């Protein structure tokens, strides 16, 4: 899967923990996290974030939640499976390999959220990403949309600066970040994260 563009969905400093259940959502961030150490070894990861326009925090802002994915177009990967259920249609291997993740920005969907108790507290997890039902509507994102790609040259300091300090520190651990700061090209095919996906017209059957 090509692309220019995760993070556990937990309660953090900027956003209270999203409520459990099934919610209308709209994507406002796709973030390239670079290669991270995981329990399955080093994996290139991305973060996709949604806001929930019908669910509001005490200050009036919409709740927000994100999901971390291993960057993979394999038919069994969580990323491809969620993209297919979001689109409401299967993807061919060729479509998956060439899919531009930037097209997700501004796209609506339904997300299923569950709460799980852990050693560090309660976690909110995205357990399903589904196509918005026919006739349902979602507004444009209220949060500023961010499409951050470590393959961009020169390094996108503006988009990086929009991320939380915690997220910045995580990205700084990746070799792709150091290559970007040094101006060196990546040793692997970069993510497809173009800037022209936001606001694109939607097909009646397949949204993107």
For residue 114 the two structure tokens come to 């569950």
Tens of pLDDT, residue by residue over 21-35, are 999 999 999 999 999
Task: Supply 195's token pair.
Answer: 């800037």
Domain boundaries, the chain: 21-182
Q: What is the pLDDT of residues 32-85, one digit of tens each?
A: 999 999 998 999 999 999 999 999 999 999 999 999 999 999 999 999 999 999
Contact yes or no for 195/169 (Cβ under 8 A): no
CA atoms within 13 A on the CB side of 205: 2
Q: What confidence tens digit (pLDDT) does each residue in 81-93 have?
A: 999 999 999 999 9
The neighbour count for residue 152, using CB atoms within 10 Å, is: 18
pLDDT computed for residue 155 by the predictor: 94
Give residue 7's region: left, alpha or beta (phi > 0; psi -120 to 50): left
d(CA 158, CA 160): 5
Q: What is the pLDDT of residue 207?
A: 74
Lowest average pLDDT, out of 13-17, 126-130, 143-147, goes to: 13-17
What is the number of helices (H) and of strands (E) in the chain?
5, 6
Q: Which residues contact 157 (CB under 8 A, 6 or more apart)?
A: none
**Euclidean distance between CA atoms 56 and 136, whole angstroms:** 19
pTM for the structure as a whole: 0.85
Task: Please state, in angstroms and rounded to a whole number, the distance separating the CA atoms of residues 127 and 67.
Answer: 9
């Amino acid at each position: 899967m090509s692309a220019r563009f995760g993070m556990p969905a937990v309660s953090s400093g900027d956003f209270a923990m999203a409520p459990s259940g099934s919610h209308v959502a709209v994507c406002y961030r796709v973030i390239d996290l670079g290669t991270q150490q995981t329990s399955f070894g080093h994996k290139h990861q991305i973060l996709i974030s949604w806001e929930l326009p019908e669910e509001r925090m005490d200050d009036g802002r919409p709740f927000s939640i994100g999901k971390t994915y291993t960057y993979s177009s394999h038919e069994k990967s969580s990323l491809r499976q969620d993209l297919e259920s979001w689109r409401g249609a299967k993807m061919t291997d060729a479509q998956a390999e060439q899919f531009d993740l930037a097209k997700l920005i501004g796209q609506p969907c339904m997300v299923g959220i569950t709460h799980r108790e852990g050693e560090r507290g309660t976690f909110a997890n995205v357990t399903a990403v589904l196509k918005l039902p026919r006739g349902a509507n979602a507004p444009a994102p209220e949060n500023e949309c961010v499409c951050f790609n470590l393959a961009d040259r020169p390094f996108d300091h503006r988009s990086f600066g929009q991320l939380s300090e915690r997220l910045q520190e995580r990205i700084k651990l990746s070799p792709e970040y150091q290559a970007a700061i040094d101006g060196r090209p990546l040793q692997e095919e970069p993510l497809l994260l173009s800037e022209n996906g936001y606001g694109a017209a939607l097909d009646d059957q397949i949204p993107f």
